[in-house]
Structure 1
Amino acid sequence: MKRLVPILFAFILPCIISAKDKPNILWLITDNCNLDFGCFGRQGVHTPHLDQLAVEGVRYTRVFATAPVCAPSRSAFMTGMYQTSVNLHHFPDHRDDGFRLPEGVRPLTHRLKDAGYLTGSIKKMGKQVVGSGKLDLNFVNEGKIFESTNWDEIKKGKPFFLQVNTPEAEYDIYDFRTNRPERIKWWGEEEHVQYAKAESVVPPAYFPKHKTSNEEWARYLNSVSNMDRRVGVVLKQLQKEKLLDDTIIIVFGDNGRVDHRSIHWVYDTGLHVPMIIKWPKNFPAPEGFKPGTVNEEVISLLDLTATTLSLAGVDRPLGMQSRVFLGKNRDPQRRYAFSARDRVDDVPFRLRSVRGKRYHYIRNFQPELNFGTYVNFYKEKCFPVQQVMRELYKKGKLDPHLMPLFTEFRREYFFDTEADPNELNNLIDSTRPEHFKALTEMRAALDTW
């Protein structure tokens, strides 16, 4: 028996140490944005807290969501499975039909709980609003996703996994009065500091030349700036509670930018999301992690699942499609990131995307639709730019480079994102050898996927 006690202690002690000495993990999810922080080069925003995180951490420049809309994207990175492979690909879906996840597929938070983490999602820290509490998953019958929504309870977790979803950038989508004449305001617009001015901003080239474009682009940039303010509140609270040096901070977007040609579309602006990771001082950084550097490898947002588990000391489950991109257990780099769009609200529109380091291939399964015939409740309600474009098109005054959005939707698109970051020049018919080679490979990759 005397020999048995040390043996038992040897087995129990590592479990105690591993539960106590794991880092906290914070997911700061910036809703509906592209690489629109100052540290990524965006002009017209005021993002000092996010920019400082980039100085102290690693900035990832080629991260792509698996869907250009929240519920399918979130369902993917909360399970580690492509939404198309486990029947989670529509938006919204399975809210009242009794659907259950396939055997072996579990919410990330349940796996983290098994590993000793207290899991939570919050709206407030003290009296200050820092998050929306957004969940928006296409599975609702798996039990509680988070154990707590109370920061005072979560911060006592040893360790904790915390998710904070910023309310920005988003419209007030819960105002369903579709026939109201005035525009729908941005969430929290009344408190946004006007760093960006409509008269001085330059909207992306896929916006029409119109004062409404300038007004909406300025409002979006100011929404991003207010998002940064909330991030600052979270960081200050972690510092105050002496938790900052024990917490891995992962900032990322759930899907692309919220505007007329981004969210719901598989252009880069609908899929390309920011990511910043800051490592805590009290834990040794993974090999190759150097603060202040930039990572340019292709990463699917899906890979956040397995990477988070790995950072928590949990092996990637057998069959999980997510890959580890950071730490000692990292997998080989991806060559491509795959994405899909299916039904959004009441509009079925099947699109698939393959994104490499430079080129972007899109396959359209419904070329009979176009920007003029595609009518979506959300977009019609929130995006005045879309209505402006329709009117300009009817009058023959729409910018020539935007006319193809209304006249034809090709079955395939192929973009050189270095030469054409707004993806306005379709190279699908290019005869250049380098284009033909890349296109052939990406077509085959999508067929295989």
Structure 2
Amino acid sequence: MKIKYILPALVLIINVACKGQEQTNQKPPNIVWIVSEDNSKHYLKLFDKNGIETPNIEALAKHGVQFNRVFSNAPVCSVARSTIISGCYAPRTGAQFHRRTELVPMPDSLRMFPAYLRDAGYYTVNNSKEDYNFEKSDKVWNESSSKGTWKNRQQDQPFFYVHNIGTTHESRLHFPESDMKDAPTTANIDEYTVQPNHPDTELFRYTNARYRDKMVEMDNQLGEVVKALEADGQLENTFIFYYGDHGGVLPGSKGYLYETGLHVPMVVRIPENYKDIIDLKIGSQTDRFVSFIDLAPTVLNLAGVQVPGQIDGKPVFGNGVDVKKLDKENVAYGYADRFDEKYDMVRSVRKGKYKYIRSYNPYNFDGLMNNYRYQQAAYREWKEMYEDGKLNELQSAFFKSRAPEMLFDVENDPYETINLANDSNFGTTLKEMRGLLNEWVSGMPDLSFYPEFYLVQNAFDNPVEFGRAHKKDIKNYIKTANLMLQDTAIAQTELKKQLRSTDPWQRYWALIVCSSFGDKVNALTPVIKEIAKNDKEGINRVKAAEFLGLTKAANPAPAMLEALYTAQYETEALLILNSIVLLNSSNYGYKFSIEENKINPDFRTEKSEVTRRLEFLNTQVH
């Protein structure tokens, strides 16, 4: 071993010993992650009776632990992966938007966690997807490419290796409908139940089966990685994690905070030479809650590396964990903001068997156009059937405004179809879950209570510090946003006050709350009309016009188009276009004659999200 690896390895061994880790092997363990893209636990029979057999993953479980309660904190790639690499909640670090318009720095001098492993003597390899919303450092990976391999390390050097499998990515379901005849599935299309909120059509059954074929293909690729470790003599020196990077991708999964978007499979194979350093038995299952913020500290803990205090997560197994405390901490949080050109703001908390979803823009219905989603034929069919009146109430919910609060018993209602928020029998549970979420968003604090374009211009040099400096303001915005949960009469008095606030973002949230109430706060229409004409913030004029359009009090087009033509920032224009697409949808049917030459040409580049929105709007005829 070269000298430069001897000292870090000695330091690592001393750290491990000091932590009381009783290992049969002095060398720290290798750690391998095998990550499949875009699949929730619902597709694997190991986790769900409606899934398909995956023998290689099942073999890992037989010599390891099956984790039944693992949750991505975000239901989309870059935000989920930014959470993993930092160990931090994305809405407090500025990493919550997909696709990013600007990279943000890592918070508080924190480094991407593989850098700490590398400092400790590990050879760190990523093969090959990164997709982080953070500024990149060249000291994180020894290798990061499609050719990356642990075999390039020094002799006896421990390694951390990430192997990404794209076989199950959403794009694999972007097939022509003719494939139903031309490309039969190996999986039996009649063997898998269509979700209750989906139409039970030939296309949905075919899509279900085709995606399960991808699970099998992915499983075979995972098996090849395991075989390579075994052939290299490293199998019993290596912890192998398999997990999905978030949920998806049947309609309403990826991009949404339902269980199909967040609840992922995870299995950890435990090597014989290190089985004594964790509390879980080989061949067992656990319902211990694991969030993606916990993956980094868990790996650092296994490696004997001190977990930085800036990380939000905690080790969920390994030396020194408080097992009794872990088994009681059955809470996981989720977040969804802008995904591509589609804006929304939704937060969730799951505790035990209950799931609480808080929609801060509840009128932004789930099925609002997102170009990438609708490249999937099943999405298009679902939308067409809704517009043709061929769906039942449950299947139609995706295309209608949501309740601001939703509460589900996910053990008895796994596809979150029955909202218990208004059931008096669950009043205590609702209050508890609401309190957990409010404490979380205010404690971070959650930067999304400012519009994205404002954050880009004012916060992205140091998002975490911006959040600290504006924590009191954010708490006030949360308080205003929560008026939509109050009795209308009580809320209306406070809304009238906030609509005249000198703080533009208090006005912004008061307008959003008014739109959530709709006709119930028609008494506020005169002051909202005044805002639509005169507010200094263009986005507030838009939000006022949005209320007027939703309540049919006035045509929203003039105010929205004027704000679009004078927008100073691309994400400001994109947020305005989101409101235009909403009101242009079949639910409302307003027409917008957009003069594209009046929009800042810098926003209309070939690949911009603004261009994507404009292309869609140009196809709409009502």
Both proteins in one fold, TM over 0.5: yes
Higher Cα Rg, which structure: 2
**C-alpha contact (below 8 Å) 1:279/1:285 kept by paired residues:** no
Specify whether residues 182 and 40 from structure 1 end up closer, same or farther in structure 2 by C-alpha distance, changes over 3 A only.
Answer: closer
Which shifted more, 149-158 or 214-223? Answer: 149-158
**C-alpha contact (below 8 Å) 1:203/1:213 kept by paired residues:** yes
1:242 maps to 2:249: no
Specify the code of the residue in structure 2 equivalent to 1:159: P
1:343 maps to 2:338: yes
1:184 positional shift:
11
Q: Which residue of 1 aligns with 2:95?
A: 88
- 1:34-433, aligned counterparts within 5 Å? 34-35=40-41, 36-43=43-50, 45-94=52-101, 97=102, 99-122=104-127, 133-143=128-138, 145-148=140-143, 149=145, 150-151=148-149, 152-154=151-153, 158-172=157-171, 182=176, 194-331=185-322, 332-333=325-326, 334-372=329-367, 374-381=368-375, 383-432=376-425
**C-alpha contact (below 8 Å) 1:206/1:261 kept by paired residues:** no
**C-alpha contact (below 8 Å) 1:30/1:227 kept by paired residues:** yes
In 2, the alpha carbon distance for the partners of 1:444 and 1:114 equals: 40
In 2, the alpha carbon distance for the partners of 1:13 and 1:64 equals: 33
Specify the code of the residue in structure 2 equivalent to 1:250: F
Runs of 4+ off more than 6 Å:
none
1:342 positional shift:
0.6
**C-alpha contact (below 8 Å) 2:302/2:319 kept by paired residues:** no
Q: What is the RMSD computed on CA atoms of the aligned residues?
A: 2.6
1:147 positional shift:
1.2
Specify the code of the residue in structure 1 equivalent to 2:379: Q
Give 3-state SS (helix, strand or coil) of 2:32's partner: strand
In 2, the alpha carbon distance for the partners of 1:56 and 1:327 equals: 17
1:44 positional shift:
5.2
Which shifted more, 159-168 or 41-50? Answer: 41-50
In 1, the alpha carbon distance for the partners of 2:427 and 2:205 equals: 37
The number of aligned residues is: 414
Specify whether residues 269 and 52 from structure 1 end up closer, same or farther in structure 2 by C-alpha distance, changes over 3 A only.
Answer: same
**C-alpha contact (below 8 Å) 1:32/1:170 kept by paired residues:** yes
Give 3-state SS (helix, strand or coil) of 2:424's partner: coil
**C-alpha contact (below 8 Å) 2:117/2:124 kept by paired residues:** yes
1:411 positional shift:
0.8
Unaligned runs of 5+ in 2: 1-6, 17-25, 441-622
**C-alpha contact (below 8 Å) 2:38/2:168 kept by paired residues:** yes
In 2, the alpha carbon distance for the partners of 1:258 and 1:118 equals: 33
Give 3-state SS (helix, strand or coil) of 2:281's partner: coil
**1:398-433: per-residue Cα shift (whole Å, max 9, x none)?**
13321222233111110001110111111110111x
**C-alpha contact (below 8 Å) 2:254/2:260 kept by paired residues:** yes
1:246 positional shift:
0.6
Give 3-state SS (helix, strand or coil) of 1:302's partner: helix
**1:245-268: per-residue Cα shift (whole Å, max 9, x none)?**
110111111111212111000001
Q: Which residue of 1 aligns with 2:39?
A: 33
**1:122-178: per-residue Cα shift (whole Å, max 9, x none)?**
2xxxxxxxxxx2111102332254211432314856100000011121143799xxx
Give 3-state SS (helix, strand or coil) of 1:408's partner: coil
Q: Which residue of 2 aligns with 1:7?
A: none
**C-alpha contact (below 8 Å) 2:67/2:265 kept by paired residues:** yes
Unaligned runs of 5+ in 1: 1-10, 123-132, 176-180
**C-alpha contact (below 8 Å) 2:255/2:339 kept by paired residues:** yes
In 1, the alpha carbon distance for the partners of 2:46 and 2:247 equals: 17
Specify whether residues 320 and 258 from structure 1 end up closer, same or farther in structure 2 by C-alpha distance, changes over 3 A only.
Answer: same
- TM-score, with normalisation over the residues of structure 2? 0.63
- TM-score, with normalisation over the residues of structure 1? 0.86
1:316 positional shift:
1.3
**C-alpha contact (below 8 Å) 1:46/1:195 kept by paired residues:** no
**C-alpha contact (below 8 Å) 1:350/1:364 kept by paired residues:** yes
- Percent identity between matched residues is 29
More helix by share: 2
Which shifted more, 164-173 or 49-58? Answer: 164-173
Specify whether residues 393 and 47 from structure 1 end up closer, same or farther in structure 2 by C-alpha distance, changes over 3 A only.
Answer: same
Specify the code of the residue in structure 1 equivalent to 2:169: E
Pick 1 or 2: higher relative contact order, CA cutoff 8 A, min separation 6.
Answer: 1
Q: Which residue of 1 aligns with 2:429?
A: 438
In 2, the alpha carbon distance for the partners of 1:316 and 1:33 equals: 29
Specify whether residues 156 and 391 from structure 1 end up closer, same or farther in structure 2 by C-alpha distance, changes over 3 A only.
Answer: farther
**1:292-323: per-residue Cα shift (whole Å, max 9, x none)?**
11110222121011111000101211221111
